Structure 1
Amino acid sequence: MMSHFKIHPLINGEIDEDSSVEVMRQHQRQLVEKEDPFLKFIDHAKLVLSPDDDEEEAEDNVRSSNRDGAEQKESNSPGWTWIVSRILKTCISYSSGVTSAILLSELSQALSKQRRCCASRNRPECIKRLKKKHLRPKLSNTLTIDLIYEKNFLSLNSVLEAVIVDAFALPGTNIYMLTLGDFWSSNTIDLYLHRRYYDLVSIYGGILKKGREIFLTGCYFRTASEGFGYARLLPTEYLVILLDEDQDDDAMLIGAQFCSDPFSSISLDAANNGVTYLLYARIEYIGPLEILEKIGGTQRRQITLVDNDGMLLKFILWGEQVVLANLLSVRSMLVVDKPFIASFIESAIETPGIVCLEYGSATQLYLVPFIQQEEQVYVSLSQKQIQGSMIATTLDPSQGPKVSQVTLPCNSQGSVDFSNYPFRTFIVDLHDKMIGVSLYGVVTDIFSEANAEKTIYYMTIEDTTGRICAKLHFSESWSVGRLSLGHTVYICGLTCHMTKQKCLEASWFQNDVGASIINISCLPTILSSSCLHRLSYLADLSRKTSGTNVCRVWLDQSEQWHVNTTIAHVSCGHFVNATASASVECEFCCCNCENEIMRDFHLKITVADESAKVFAWCTGQTAIELLQISPDEFHELPEEEQVIYPSSLENERYMIAVVYCGQQGRLKQAAKEVSWEITGALKL
């Protein structure tokens, strides 16, 4: 087991005894990556999708500054990670192949949809003013007003993050309406205000007035086709009013009115005698949805609040009220006006003697949202050094980079979120307190933690600037498919931090938002899409020992052939071994997999083209494509037919993906004497 892991010493400028060899290998990797057609297409797509910014588009751009400190706007083009993720998503959807036009069309449509959501035109002026300082991310389940009109539907669990554009009474009635807009839509929509909030509307000098932000959920959508002149939202009691501490009126309201009652002042007897409370506390924890079978399957959610004195108290939501939790976020400040005070027995909690807060018929909620901080991040000089990186298009060799800094969000622990970083991140750029990192590189080592309680793997990734070992945490079992040495991977959602031993640690958690690992070497679309590969000759492989090479070959019957069937683990595709106790163990996962096995090929084969011959090995779907028969069908053939079967493939031609698997990693290689693996094959 590894207690920690380091970036390769060369990254930190240290020189070891094998440094000269490593420098040569690094130079070779740089030459190979310079020619990588997949990376070149990403750069091409970024150029094609980069528009000329106009004044209004510039308001939403990533902020940057040049070296003399003067702030400027960076091009409103999509980020590197955004492009790669959507290219790979399209490749997975179109396994039979894509063209440059298909990929650019898919990217353009996705970008247009994203920009429509961020469009500023036709917004009311009050929303435009608020937009300039709108820093918080969207809540889960947030639906834009434009999307409501587009789908003509709104679920009760959907969240609206709205701004009041107008508040008025319907003529001749005492029915009050709010006209709502949001930060991502050009449309507005009217809401019938629930009567519990009538005393807060601006007609009576209340807080619900033009420019006030609110969150609401539990809404029914009444369409225009149901007898009304236009679509409206029906009343909901699940509404939270947002407060802004930077506004004088709100700051005075919080200080003078909302900080009056600490949790210690709450008395159940006083509440039963009609005393009401107004409480101000930080949201410490939002519990999961609970189903209480003992009381008829009632739904419940518990929210932990902490006041300025550090005292904790539970705020309980029951039944339909649980949707209110969708409007709240951890670390935000919550004002609970006139909560229902309940005993622990009434609330069915496990802490005797402690009262609880509940959402009663007179309760009103106010929220001071937690604002995500931002940090200026320098654009690494490695962007300038890597040929083909998109940053090269913004560099003037005589003046240095025009974009030297970008502004990225950071969490409450001070970690900077790189999920929307506009450029590619290299391993040399990794440092303490980074989250949402994406890397593109080659696997040089991978192994699992034997006899561990959790499913943990260690994978070393290498790019042109160095290598790092990442600790992969899977929720249950390995779920990435077959992955081995020499394969090119794209990994999203890495977290980097410094250990107590001053070593940089990289971690990946499968359940994190945006976390994914894609094995590019095994993607069928790479072979069938000429825009994503460049044909190589087999004779060139000797200088291309990094990355995935695509070659057009035939099977050479006169050279070595070894066609065997064996047993493999279904989830990872690696071969299994029989133990002394007659059980079956996967050599990759280091676990018993007796109930998760399949018959598979272990094929060693000679391929040839006009320039050379190469002895390589393969397994799985690649071997099936080359042999044009399944492992089970081959296994059922008589032995003499198995021997002569390869001769039936004479003159068959294929497009193949080849990787160098000769690295000295901990992973037991299926064919140690064979330095090349065929990771994909397409019959021509």
Structure 2
Amino acid sequence: MEIDEQQQPPQEDDPFLAFVDYARSVLSPDDEWEGEGGGYETNDHGTETCAPGWSWIVSRILKTCITYSSGVTTAILLSDLSQAWSELHRSGAPRRRPEIINQLKKKHRRTKLPNTITIDFIYEKNFLSLNSILEAVIVDAFVLPGTNIYMLTLGDFWSSNTIDLYLHRRYYELVDPRNGILKKGREVFLTGCYLRTAREGSGCPRLLPTEYLVILLDDDQDDDATLIAAQFCSDSFSSISLDEATTGVSYSLYARIESIESMEVQGVFGNVQRKEITLVDNDGVQLKFLLWGEQVLLANFFSIGSMLALDRPYIASSKESAVQTTSELCLEYGSATQLYLVPFVQHEEQVYVPLTQNRYQGSKMISALNPTQGPKVSQVSLPCDSQGSIDFSDYPFRSFVIDLRDKMTSISLYGIVTDIFRERNTTKVIFSLKIEDTTGAIWAKLHFARSWSLGRLGLGHTVFVSGLSCYKTKHNSLEVSWFENDAGASFVSLSCLPALLNSSCLQRLSRLSDLSHGSSCTYICRVRLDQVDQCHVSTRYSHVICGHVVNKMPNGVTECSFCHCNCDEVTRTFHLKITLADDSAKIFAWCTGQTATELLQISPDEFYELPEDEQFMYPSSLENESFIVALVNSKREGCGGHGRTLETDTVSWEITRALRYE
């Protein structure tokens, strides 16, 4: 894609959001939009759209900004977005896939698994990681000439290439040409694969044998339904005998996956990874199915609601396996175990695009579909799980607070922080954050794995949060939650983003006279330091992980004023109040941490070591120094309560980032 460096996004109230809309229009021109009333087009998988979702674009732009902290251009961002989108969907691959896959593709409605990579990707990168998933279709099964080695030729729904796999010997009985199940047209999941790369004169890349292969069944197909009934429904969890299992009796079982839990277990040679999959059979009886060590890779295939068929699982004692369960036994993946899966097919639900999209940025895209009739309410198809929760990760528009409803997952919000505090009535690390946009405000509970990990965050900061889930509390009010380690969870404070200050495509310079006390945006201004004889400079200790001031308690313990925990990791930092000026106005502003260090051009430790008279005189050397700064209103009406700390003092404007301007 050729990119004109002179092209610029349209002017909007928020230049960053304007660029997001502009980038989206470049990636998905109007001719890719179809459907009456502005319906969003989905592909033949039913879930993957022909154009990127709003959240995906924002996340990718921010990722590039973090990578290029010294600044980005329109060309850098658009080329990165175009390449990332192309790699994700491989839209340019020639359509030469085998006919058997084309036939299966017509009825393929299953959502692609998170770690799935395509065969085209393997050929392009000549690389395959052990935890990658292949969702493959068997195109051919054959014996290498002159050997007894079975090979499978595999294709997938997204690639034009095929690749050969050396079949692991534990599956040889299933590849018998007369009655084997591993034959042309059968879908399989594979992981834990090693790639034998192609060397000069040695042919194409091949996959080495892997134990971690799961065979997919379709209970709507007569042959598969017969197999399930004949092989897996005669045994039940209640019929398993631990004593008989020790004498060699084997079982074939069929059950629904109810939950999947991860844990670490102390072993002889250190900690061992373990997955506990809770299974429920047709009689409602529960058993645990355990995966150990490398076997945990198999759990990447599983999802709650899927049906799992286990042929010859290893029967173990719950006590010996250290499993907390009411049953005396549990199941494990043994050397003879073979797994079959009937995947839970994620249904879709039609979601109406709210009127907020007509009032805000989304209106331009919708009205472009039918300019003579003006904006209209549209609808999109989004995945829905068995509990009725709708996945908004690929939602094409920006989500606003007013649009939030019960049972929404993978939501992204863009707004400002108006309050924040740590929950004190729990041993878990949970912070409550109030996010406000142009339509309203909502509380979000942030769940951290160990401790606060987002760096310094304050009132008035503009943030982008993805991976949120919305639910109703017991008081029937809406609340959103965020878990640090969830797939798709990210949190970025745009107000503190270094690249924002020198990326003209993402910001618009304001004059100090433009600053409004009622505003909720981050202003970027070119200023000079003024009246430095009246500035206030002090040093204090702050908590390294969050950047907030620490207090010495009466018992001698150092406690963070923000995290409310005892902290050993502290650092000396500045607290600075200084006058900023340009040709239009002057303001008094405050800052701390790295921003204050950038303005003063000296480290806190170096400043602290100066004699008192030199500390007093030092600011005078900075008179009229020029900077580009990011400014937020930390005292805006509506920001309050829990989030106020001593460091904000009585000054409204916080300098969240500064960059010396030559």
TM-score, scaled relative to structure 1: 0.86
Distance 1:528 1:358, change over 3 A: closer
Partner of 2:632: 659
Map Cα deviations across residues 652-675 of structure 1 (whole Å, 9 max, x no partner). 111111111113412224244211
Give me the whole-angstrom Cα distance separating, in 1, the residues matched to 2:65 and 2:304: 37
- Equivalent residues of 1:494, 1:507 under 8 A apart: yes
Map Cα deviations across residues 418-446 of structure 1 (whole Å, 9 max, x no partner). 11111111111111111111111111122
Partner of 1:627: 600
Partner of 1:638: 611
1:598-617 equivalence runs, <5 A: 598-617=571-590
- Equivalent residues of 1:157, 1:217 under 8 A apart: yes
Of 179-188 and 350-359, more deviation after overlay is shown by 350-359
Deviation at 1:172, TM superposition (A): 5.6
1:226-245 equivalence runs, <5 A: 228-245=202-219
Match of 2:621 among 627, 648, 654: 648
1:209-224 equivalence runs, <5 A: 209-224=183-198
SS at match of 1:92: helix
Give me the whole-angstrom Cα distance separating, in 1, the residues matched to 2:517 and 2:469: 33
1:419-498 equivalence runs, <5 A: 419-450=393-424, 452-498=426-472
1:309 aligns with 2:283: yes
Give me the whole-angstrom Cα distance separating, in 2, the residues matched to 1:70 and 1:36: 25
SS at match of 2:395: coil
Partner of 2:7: none
Of 113-122 and 621-630, more deviation after overlay is shown by 113-122
Give me the whole-angstrom Cα distance separating, in 2, the residues matched to 1:590 and 1:271: 54
Give me the whole-angstrom Cα distance separating, in 2, the residues matched to 1:618 and 1:292: 46
- Equivalent residues of 1:222, 1:231 under 8 A apart: yes
- Equivalent residues of 2:41, 2:50 under 8 A apart: no
Deviation at 1:343, TM superposition (A): 5.3
Partner of 2:14: 36
Give me the whole-angstrom Cα distance separating, in 2, the residues matched to 1:212 and 1:431: 40
Match of 1:183 among 157, 171, 177: 157
Partner of 1:92: 66
1:197 aligns with 2:171: yes
- Equivalent residues of 1:66, 1:405 under 8 A apart: no
Of 650-659 and 535-544, more deviation after overlay is shown by 535-544
1:522 aligns with 2:500: no
The residue type paired with residue 660 of structure 2 is K
Alignment RMSD (CA, Å)? 3.2
The residue type paired with residue 651 of structure 2 is V
Map Cα deviations across residues 294-348 of structure 1 (whole Å, 9 max, x no partner). 5998886554432111223344556765554444444321222234445567767
Partner of 1:208: 182
1:567-578 equivalence runs, <5 A: 567-578=541-552
Percent pairwise identity: 66
Distance 1:275 1:618, change over 3 A: closer
Give me the whole-angstrom Cα distance separating, in 2, the residues matched to 1:68 and 1:156: 42
Deviation at 1:227, TM superposition (A): 7.0
Map Cα deviations across residues 80-132 of structure 1 (whole Å, 9 max, x no partner). 11111011111111111111111111111111211217957222222233334
Of 524-533 and 666-675, more deviation after overlay is shown by 666-675
- Equivalent residues of 1:587, 1:668 under 8 A apart: no
Of 97-106 and 667-676, more deviation after overlay is shown by 667-676
1:48 aligns with 2:21: no
Match of 1:376 among 345, 350, 357: 350
Give me the whole-angstrom Cα distance separating, in 2, the residues matched to 1:501 and 1:424: 27
Partner of 1:676: 653
Deviation at 1:453, TM superposition (A): 1.7
Give me the whole-angstrom Cα distance separating, in 2, the residues matched to 1:621 and 1:183: 49
The residue type paired with residue 46 of structure 1 is R
Distance 1:150 1:559, change over 3 A: same
Deviation at 1:492, TM superposition (A): 1.0
Map Cα deviations across residues 219-246 of structure 1 (whole Å, 9 max, x no partner). 4433332874333233344322110122
Give me the whole-angstrom Cα distance separating, in 2, the residues matched to 1:297 and 1:98: 43
SS at match of 2:453: coil
- Equivalent residues of 1:559, 1:606 under 8 A apart: no
Give me the whole-angstrom Cα distance separating, in 2, the residues matched to 1:114 and 1:373: 23
Give me the whole-angstrom Cα distance separating, in 2, the residues matched to 1:71 and 1:87: 23
- Equivalent residues of 2:367, 2:376 under 8 A apart: no
Give me the whole-angstrom Cα distance separating, in 1, the residues matched to 2:466 and 2:272: 39
Distance 1:395 1:543, change over 3 A: farther
Give me the whole-angstrom Cα distance separating, in 1, the residues matched to 2:598 and 2:80: 29
The residue type paired with residue 36 of structure 1 is D
1:285-324 equivalence runs, <5 A: 285-288=259-262, 293=267, 302-317=276-291, 323-324=297-298
Map Cα deviations across residues 19-45 of structure 1 (whole Å, 9 max, x no partner). xxxxxxxxxxxxxx9421111111111
- Equivalent residues of 2:38, 2:377 under 8 A apart: no
The residue type paired with residue 668 of structure 1 is R
- Equivalent residues of 1:395, 1:402 under 8 A apart: no
Of 379-388 and 112-121, more deviation after overlay is shown by 112-121
The residue type paired with residue 682 of structure 1 is L
Deviation at 1:485, TM superposition (A): 1.3
SS at match of 1:203: coil
Give me the whole-angstrom Cα distance separating, in 1, the residues matched to 2:644 and 2:326: 57
Give me the whole-angstrom Cα distance separating, in 1, the residues matched to 2:107 and 2:493: 40
Map Cα deviations across residues 439-479 of structure 1 (whole Å, 9 max, x no partner). 11111122222364222222211111111121222222221
Distance 1:182 1:562, change over 3 A: same
Of 482-491 and 203-212, more deviation after overlay is shown by 203-212
Partner of 1:591: 565
Give me the whole-angstrom Cα distance separating, in 2, the residues matched to 1:456 and 1:645: 42
Give me the whole-angstrom Cα distance separating, in 2, the residues matched to 1:355 and 1:147: 42
Consecutive unaligned residues in structure 2, runs of 5 or more: 1-10
Of 649-658 and 83-92, more deviation after overlay is shown by 649-658
Give me the whole-angstrom Cα distance separating, in 2, the residues matched to 1:210 and 1:145: 17
- Equivalent residues of 2:30, 2:369 under 8 A apart: no
- Equivalent residues of 1:268, 1:342 under 8 A apart: yes
Deviation at 1:143, TM superposition (A): 3.5
The residue type paired with residue 51 of structure 2 is S
Distance 1:163 1:556, change over 3 A: same
Give me the whole-angstrom Cα distance separating, in 2, the residues matched to 1:565 and 1:109: 46
SS at match of 1:591: coil
- Equivalent residues of 1:215, 1:239 under 8 A apart: yes
Give me the whole-angstrom Cα distance separating, in 1, the residues matched to 2:612 and 2:644: 29
SS at match of 1:114: helix
SS at match of 1:224: coil
Distance 1:590 1:228, change over 3 A: same
The residue type paired with residue 634 of structure 1 is F
Give me the whole-angstrom Cα distance separating, in 1, the residues matched to 2:40 and 2:259: 41
Consecutive unaligned residues in structure 1, runs of 5 or more: 1-32
Partner of 2:389: 415
- Equivalent residues of 1:389, 1:424 under 8 A apart: no
Of 77-86 and 144-153, more deviation after overlay is shown by 144-153
- Equivalent residues of 1:142, 1:159 under 8 A apart: yes
Distance 1:341 1:568, change over 3 A: closer
Give me the whole-angstrom Cα distance separating, in 2, the residues matched to 1:263 and 1:407: 39
- Equivalent residues of 1:50, 1:75 under 8 A apart: no
Of 359-368 and 68-77, more deviation after overlay is shown by 68-77
Distance 1:297 1:152, change over 3 A: same
Partner of 2:477: 503
The residue type paired with residue 516 of structure 2 is S
Give me the whole-angstrom Cα distance separating, in 2, the residues matched to 1:153 and 1:396: 46
SS at match of 2:50: coil
Give me the whole-angstrom Cα distance separating, in 2, the residues matched to 1:601 and 1:405: 51
